Amino acid sequence: MDDLLARHRAVMPNWLALYYDEPIEIASASGRRVTDRDGTTYLDFFAGILTNAIGYDVAEISDAVRSQLDTGVLHTSTLYLIRKQVELAEKIAELSGIPDAKVFLTNSGTEANETALMLATTARRSEQVLALRNSYHGRAFATVGITGNRGWSASSLSPVKVSWVHGGYQFRSPFKSYSDADYIKACVADLRDIIETTTSGDVACMIAEPIQGVGGFTAPPDGLFRAFKEVLDEYGILFISDEVQTGWGRTGEHFWGIQAHDVVPDAMTFAKGLGNGLAVGGVVARGSLMDTLNANSISTFGGNPVSSAGALATLNYLLDHDLQANAAKLGSRLIAGLRSVAERHPVVGDVRGKGLMVGIEFVGPEGEPNAAAAAGVLEETRRRGLLVGKGGLYGNVIRLAPPMTLTEDELEEALGILTASVEAVSA
C-alpha cells in the first residue's frame, strides 16, 4: 500500500488530492460496502454521488454491460448509429421535462458543462456568463472559470467573462440571518444589480447547481431559482442547471434538483452517478438550443455502447425500484438524526441538504469555519468503518451521499459512527 502511495506521488500530479492520512485502495465492493487492499470493509457514504448511484456489484448493471461486451463491440465512434446511445438519449429527453429536448452524451461532467457553455454562448453570441459564488462546474478551461471556489479554480485564464451571483450558500453570506423570503429578495436584487452594473446586458446564460456539491451541499431555499429565472427571462438570458450531483432522484422530493424551484431550464447537464461507475455524462437541452451549432462535431467516446448500456440499466433500476422515494425517506431520517447530534455538539454549525445529499458544516467557537474538525471526522469515521466526503469553500463540511439503495440498518449504522466521531472531535 505504502509502495503504491509512493508510486502515485512520484508519477501523478501533486494537485490530485487523496483522502485520508493513509489513503486507501479499494479492491472489491458489493452493495454499499467496499473492501480495501488490506481486507478492511467500509460502509460507503460518498460513492452515491461520485460514482455508484445505486451501489456496487448490481447484477442488472453487470449483465447489461456484459451482454454489450459479448457482442465484441466496445465502441464504434459516433460516426455510426449506436442503438444503446439513442435509447439512452430518448430516455433522458423524456425524463428531462424540457420541451422538444435533445441530448448530447459526453464522458464527464466537465465535458457536459463545456458543451452547455458552448451552446449558450454561441446561441446568444456573448461570452458573458453568470455563475454562483461557491460553485463547482469542472476542471477544464471554461468550466474552471465558472467555478467560484478558489480551492478548485486551478487556472484564472478562462475564455468566459464571469459575473458572480449570491444565492448558493446562505450560511456564510451577508444575508445569513434572513428569512427564506427575504433571502430570495436580497439575491434577486443582487442579480439585477450585477446584470445592470457588471455586464453589457447581453449575457449568454446563468449556470447553477440546485444544491452546491463540492461547495458543501448547500441547499438554497426553494423558489430562489424561480425568482432568478423571472429576471433572466426579462433579459433573454438562458438558464443551465448543473445536475451532475443533484439528478436522478437523489434529492428525494424531485427527480431533478431544479424541480424544487418550479423551473424548467433551457439545458441541464449530468454525469457521475448515471453510469453507476462507467464514464458517461451529457447535456439535455431544448432542441433549438442544441442545434445552434452549425459546424460538425464529434465525440469519439461519448455515449459509447458499453457506457450507454450501463447507464440505461442504471436508470431503469432507479425507476423500477423507486429509489427516489427511498432517498426521501432515509434522507429525512438522516437529517433528523444529525440535527439531534448538532443540538448536543456546538462544533456542528449546520446540518442541511435534501434526500441522500446531506452536509454537516463544522464551526469554531465564534462560528468560524472549522476545517480541523471536519478533517478529524473524516479520519474518525474511516477508523470506525465509514467512508464520507469532505468539501465546502473552507474544507469544513462533511458530505454524505450514500448509494440510493441504502437500507435502514445501514443508515442507523452510519448515524452511530457519525455520532461517535463528532463526539471524538468535540472531546
CA dihedral (78, 81, 85, 90) positive or negative:
positive
Which residues 80-139 are close enough to bind ligand PMP by CB under 6 A?
A: 108-110, 113, 136-139
Q: Which residues partner with 350 through β-bridges?
A: 361
Q: Does 242 bind ligand PMP (CB under 6 A)?
A: yes
Among 146, 244, 290, 415, binds ligand PMP (CB under 6 A): 244
Residue 174 CA: distances (Å) to CA of 177, 226, 390, 427: 8, 21, 24, 31
Q: Which is nearer to ligand PMP, 108 or 134 (CB)?
A: 108
How far is 221 from 225, CA to CA, in rounded Å?
9
Q: Which is nearer to ligand PMP, 95 or 271 (CB)?
A: 271
Q: Which is nearer to ligand PMP, 65 or 271 (CB)?
A: 271
Residues 6+ apart with CB under 8 A from 117: 129, 142, 143, 146, 160, 204, 205, 207, 240
Among 241, 245, 307, 308, binds ligand PMP (CB under 6 A): 245
How far is 150 from 226, CA to CA, in rounded Å?
28
Count the residues in the chain: 427
How many CA atoms within 13 Å lie on the side-chain side of 253? 11
How far is 272 from 234, CA to CA, in rounded Å?
33
Among 48, 148, 167, 213, binds ligand PMP (CB under 6 A): 213
Which string of x and - marks every residue 135-164 that binds ligand PMP (by CB under 6 A)? -xxxx-------------------------
Residue 163 beta carbon to ligand PMP: minimum distance, rounded to whole angstroms: 19
Q: Does 218 bind ligand PMP (CB under 6 A)?
A: no
Q: Are 114 and 143 in contact (CB under 8 A)?
A: yes
Residues 6+ apart with CB under 8 A from 26: 34, 35, 36, 37
Q: Are 84 and 76 in contact (CB under 8 A)?
A: no
Q: Which is nearer to ligand PMP, 96 or 199 (CB)?
A: 96
Q: Which is nearer to ligand PMP, 44 or 209 (CB)?
A: 209
Residue 29 beta carbon to ligand PMP: minimum distance, rounded to whole angstroms: 20
Which string of x and - marks every residue 276-305 that binds ligand PMP (by CB under 6 A)? -----x------------------------
Which string of x and - marks every residue 368-387 that binds ligand PMP (by CB under 6 A)? --------------------
Residue 336 beta carbon to ligand PMP: minimum distance, rounded to whole angstroms: 26
Is 179 exposed, middle or buried (CB count within 10 Å of its CB: 0-12, 13-18, 19+)?
Answer: exposed
Which residue reads 459564488 in cell numbers?
133
DSSP notation for 249-292: TTTSS-SSGGGGGT---SEEEE-GGGGTTS--EEEEEEHHHHTT
Among 214, 232, 311, 327, binds ligand PMP (CB under 6 A): 214
Q: Which is nearer to ligand PMP, 158 or 421 (CB)?
A: 158
Using the contact rule CB under 6 A, the part of the chain among 35-43, 228-236, 237-245, 303-311 near ligand PMP is: 237-245
Residue 307 beta carbon to ligand PMP: minimum distance, rounded to whole angstroms: 12
Residue 132 beta carbon to ligand PMP: minimum distance, rounded to whole angstroms: 11
> In the structure grid, which three cell numbers stand for residue 61, read together?
448493471
Q: Does 349 bind ligand PMP (CB under 6 A)?
A: no
Q: Which is nearer to ligand PMP, 272 or 354 (CB)?
A: 272
Among 224, 271, 289, 335, binds ligand PMP (CB under 6 A): 271
Q: Which is nearer to ligand PMP, 130 or 363 (CB)?
A: 130
Closest C-alpha to 255, from 237, 238, 239, 273 = 273
Residue 91 CB coordination number (10 Å): 16
Q: Which is nearer to ligand PMP, 216 or 337 (CB)?
A: 216
Residue 218 beta carbon to ligand PMP: minimum distance, rounded to whole angstroms: 12
Task: Assign 48 to helix, strand or coil.
Answer: helix
Q: Which residues partner with 106 through β-bridges?
A: 281
Residue 215 beta carbon to ligand PMP: minimum distance, rounded to whole angstroms: 9
For ligand PMP, the binding residues (CB under 6 A) are 108-110, 113, 136-139, 209, 213-214, 242, 244-245, 271-272, 281
